[in-house]
Amino acid sequence: MEKLLFNSEYIKIEDLADELYVSRSTLKNDLKSIRKILKKYHLSLEHKPYYGLKIVGDEIQFRYCISEYLYNQKSTLMDHQIENMKILSKEQLSIIKNSVLLHLRRNHIFISDISLQNLITHIAIACKRIQEKNSVEMKEEHLKELKNKKEFLVAEHIAKDLYKQMKILFSEHEKAYLTIHLQGTKLTNSLVEKQEVISILEDEIQQIVKEMLHRIDEKYDLGLQQDEELLIAICLHLKPAINRYKYHMNIRNPMLEEIKSKYPLSFDAALIGAEVLSEKMKIRIDENEIGYLALHIEVAQERKNKNKIKVPRCLIVCASGFGSAQLLLYKLQRQFPDQLNILGTTEYYNLMNQSFHNLDFIISTIPIHEKLPIPVIEVSTILGDSDLTKIKKMILHKKAPVEKYLKEKYTYFQKDFHTPKEVIEFICEELKQDGKVDNTYVKSVLKREKYSPTSFGNMVAIPHPIEPQTKETFWCVVTLKKPIQWGNKSVQLVVLLNISKEKKQGLHPMHELLIRLLDNKEMVNHILKCKNYQQLRQMMKRI
């Protein structure tokens, strides 16, 4: 791929095979894969008798292919990665980097580290292609529009530097191409005042993001509409994202799979946002962009939850005297500085005189036989690892009981289905027969799958409708005789999520349960062996 992308002339198949130490037949096989990759960028492999092979197609797509396929495969943010690129010399790359940083700062354009790396990569590729007499040709209307942008002036300054120091001449079309990349960079607001950020955002984008958050709150009741930080973050993401879409630029999200499996609720919320963008601007963003939106929504929820966290309150009971009670108190304060509110210490004999109404539990160094209205955790004064684990469990005791979501009637074992559609249609039909859902339910679940498959790895798929539709929140569980292909993953355990349209709050504990299931390979294997509901229930309780 590298040979073909960095060679403007034809390459003979024999020469390529010799250089790679492979046979002609192996090479021909590899070229099939190359053609598939090139097709994604609307490029093709031309074969000319007696001359050999050459990649042909639009120059902009050619450059995107070089950038995406050869340099954006890794998500590391190291300068040496840019320097290791064989496009230009270390000195030339340094000139590009210094010029870009200088003119971005001068013009108050704020971008993330990943965007900076991508920008330098794209400029380096442009320089290499210009040196080889391969130039970009923009449509006249695009050229005219781009020349009026603030970023075009920045592109002109960078082009001037590169001509002065590297003797590489950027045409008006090349400057416009550089402008697209400056517009497509991901803005960051880490060091920028809120008012300054709001002033650079178009009203139209702000209105669309407000509508997105309104629609998400309507469907999932996440309380996002009042979050100004989230509004700014999504506006800042969408501004370049819209430019990327307009000029068919690609963006890769190295965290996509993790976002989908670890933050399913935020990803579904982001899908609702993507629908709004499609309605209002006729822009259909792909799941890489949706993944970034989901990340912003997850951050907002974490921020909201952090502000709402109620720290558990406890009392220490110690028989050994004040000194050991204080030692235990200080140890606990050191171990759980923000997670535990210790209201004080008391002796065992004084315990029954205490008021329990403002306490969540008691930590005691001695057995307490009296029946108390709150739980008691028995620990050693020395406070070993097992003691700490017990306390952690009590602090985190906000987990939803798994039985709350399981229904015997909707658990199916060792079914013989061959496609995701068959599984979904079967479950939805069962729910429809019982009057739990209507005819639109199956369409909504399949629509959600079309956006992005819900197979998250570890043989598990978690399909669900695009928006909540049932009276209560519960699961339908199906195990399959044999794994089936679901998106690009194998699946043998299917959990259909039915979310209540009335009680939308408190979905996080349920999603946490599912994430723990996804992370536990051994658990999934045990569930696949279950033959009845009782076995499944016992197994799921272990989560």
What burial letters (b/e) apply to 490-524, b meaning 16+ CB within 10 Å?
Answer: ebbbbbbbbbbeeebeebeebbebbbebbebeebb
What is the arrangement of strands in the sheet containing 361-364, beginning at the earlier edge strand? 341-346, 313-317, 361-364, 376-378
State the pLDDT at residue 195. 55
**Concatenated DSSP letters for 357-414?**
TT-SEEEESS---S--SS-EEE--TT--HHHHHHHHHHHT--PPPGGGT--GGGEEEE
Please give the pLDDT value at position 78.
44
User: What span, in angstroms and rounded, lies between the C-alpha atoms of 120 and 123?
Assistant: 5
d(CA 461, CA 504): 22
C-alpha 357/C-alpha 385 separation (Å) is: 29
| Domain boundaries, given as residue ranges, for the chain | 1-57, 194-308, 313-395, 402-541
C-alpha to C-alpha distance for 23 and 14, rounded to whole angstroms: 9
Q: How far is CA 383 from CA 161, 317, 324, 328, 396, in A?
A: 65, 14, 11, 7, 18
Nearest Cα to Cα of residue 244 among 300, 168, 184: 184
What DSSP assignment string belongs to 30-70? Answer: HHHHHHHHHHHTT-EEEEETTTEEEEES-HHHHHHHIIIII
Give residue 82's pLDDT: 53
CATH topology of domain 1-57: Arc Repressor Mutant, subunit A (1.10.10)
Residue 385 β-bridge partners: none
Query: Using the 8-state DSSP alphabet, how is residue 11 labeled?
Result: B
Residues 6 or more apart in contact with residue 138 via CB below 8 angstroms? 146, 173, 176, 177
CB 527 within 8 A of CB 539: yes
Q: Is the pTM of this model over 0.85?
A: no
The answer to whether 239 and 185 are in contact (CB under 8 A) is no
State pLDDT tens for residues 295-327.
Answer: 899 988 888 776 655 678 899 988 666 667 778
What confidence tens digit (pLDDT) does each residue in 192-241 have?
A: 445 555 555 667 888 999 999 999 998 888 889 988 888 888 887 887 78
Q: What is the pLDDT of residue 258?
A: 86
Q: Which residues contact 39 (CB under 8 A, 6 or more apart)?
A: none
C-alpha distances (whole Å) from 511 to each of 151, 154, 475 are 43, 46, 12
Check residue 85 and give its pLDDT.
Answer: 58
**Which CATH superfamily, name and number, covers 402-541?**
Mannitol-specific EII; Chain A (3.40.930.10)
Q: Cα(396)–Cα(460) distance, rounded to whole angstroms?
A: 26
Q: What is the pLDDT of residue 531?
A: 93
Per-residue tens of pLDDT for the chain, all 543 residues: 888 888 888 999 999 999 999 998 999 999 999 999 899 888 999 999 989 999 999 898 888 888 877 665 544 444 445 555 567 888 898 999 999 999 988 887 777 666 788 788 889 999 999 998 998 888 888 889 889 888 899 999 999 999 999 999 999 999 998 988 887 665 554 444 455 555 556 678 889 999 999 999 988 888 899 888 888 888 878 877 887 787 777 677 778 888 888 888 999 999 999 999 999 999 888 888 899 899 899 988 888 776 655 678 899 988 666 667 778 888 888 888 878 888 888 888 788 878 888 888 999 988 888 888 888 999 987 788 888 888 888 876 644 567 788 999 999 999 999 999 999 999 999 999 999 999 999 999 999 999 889 998 889 999 999 888 899 889 999 999 999 999 889 999 999 999 988 776 667 778 878 888 888 889 999 999 999 999 998 888 777
CA-to-CA distance for 68 and 86, rounded, in angstroms? 15
Task: Name the CATH code of domain 313-395 (choices 1.10.579.10, 1.10.1240.10, 3.20.20.10, 3.40.50.2300).
Answer: 3.40.50.2300
Amino acid identity, residue 80?
Answer: H
Hey, is 222 helix, strand or coil?
Answer: coil
Closest to 448 (Cα-Cα) out of 292, 273, 271? 271
CA distance linking residue 190 with residue 147, whole number of Å: 29
d(CA 110, CA 188): 6
What pLDDT score does 210 carry?
93
Superfamily classification of domain 194-308? PRD domain (1.10.1790.10)
